[in-house]
Amino acid sequence: MMKLADRAGTIIEQDTAQDRLLAWMYGHITGRLLLKPLVCPFVSKLGGKVLDTRLSAMAVRPFVKANHIDLTQCEKQKFNSYNDFFTRRLKAGARPVAMEDELLPSPCDGRLSVYQINDSLEFSVKHTRYTVTSLLKNKKLAGAYAGGFAWVFRLCVEDYHRYIYVDDGVTSSNYHIPGVFHTVNPVANDCYPIYKENTREYSLLHSENFGTILMMEVGALMVGKIENPRGAGSVKRGQEKGNFAFGGSTVILLTQAGSVYPDRDILKNSRHHIETKVRQGEQVGSKKE
């Protein structure tokens, strides 16, 4: 059972139907047999095409009701397909961005865990060890983040699935690492090396206030696309970087040693294996320790 804290310090234990289903699929041999065809790229792309049809729009209203989603915050309330709903854009001002130079805003809605990258360049995601090198498949680049922090934002299907740049600066092109689509739900970690298997994409933001930030998006079960339309060039804090198509997903930031520090509540929660619920644009760290 996963624990989740809000910014006021209230902690709840979550045991959703989605979590129970994924626990069975990854933890039972029958479930893993059923899972195998679902994680191949062909099936994921086919699922994405179905969710682009007008017929799929019939699933929007029940999902909105079940997950208490406020559509009045969206630019539109009627959708042509489920993916049209899933990639919905919010009205200006619905996600205020912390604009002070010393504050680091969240790039997205999600459940945040932070980990200091130790001397062996390993960090933990729900009791599973990952090296930054295996995440990036680039030993030299990984070395640039030794002693810094890995910020892992886990998005659930009810979250807003657009993400932003966290500071002014100049961004590199997007680097794509192909993979197999597995769920990013923590219950899967015991059976699959999730981030090594998932398709992912990253860029380097040479930021004005926080050094060079690596911004990575990770696809998941039934996510056919990571949509990053921009190439290299100048960007602004709060400017949209891209969005995910259908499914749960993850955004990861890697920050360099001494450049920025997580807020104390987030760091404390993470040390106790508790995720912190955050919204796009809100403060999650600062330049002062």
Q: What is the rounded CA–CA span in Å between residue 153 and residue 15?
A: 19
First to last CA, the chain: 31
Among this protein's residues, is 109 annotated catalytic?
A: yes
Out of 249, 259, 270, 286, which one is annotated catalytic?
249
Rounded Cα–Cα distance for residues 198 and 152 (Å):
15
Find the catalytic residue in 81, 109, 259, 263. Answer: 109
DSSP β-ladder status, 11-14 and 103-105: unpaired
Report in angstroms the alpha-carbon separations of 74 from 87, 91, 160: 11, 5, 10
Q: Phi first, then psi: what are they for 141, rounded to 5°?
A: -65, -40
CA distances from 243 to 108, 133, 195, 238 (A): 10, 25, 18, 14
Q: Which residues contact 21 (CB under 8 A, 6 or more apart)?
A: none
172 catalytic per annotation: no
119, exposed or middle or buried, with CB in 10 Å at 0-12, 13-18, 19+? exposed
Strands (E), the chain: 2-5, 11-14, 103-105, 110-116, 122-125, 128-131, 149-155, 162-164, 169-171, 175-177, 200-207, 212-218, 226-227, 233-235, 240-244, 249-255, 261-262, 274-278, 283-286
What token pair was written down for 170?
Answer: 């100049």
Residue type for position 253: L
- Residues forming a β-bridge with 153: 112, 251
Active site residues: 109, 249
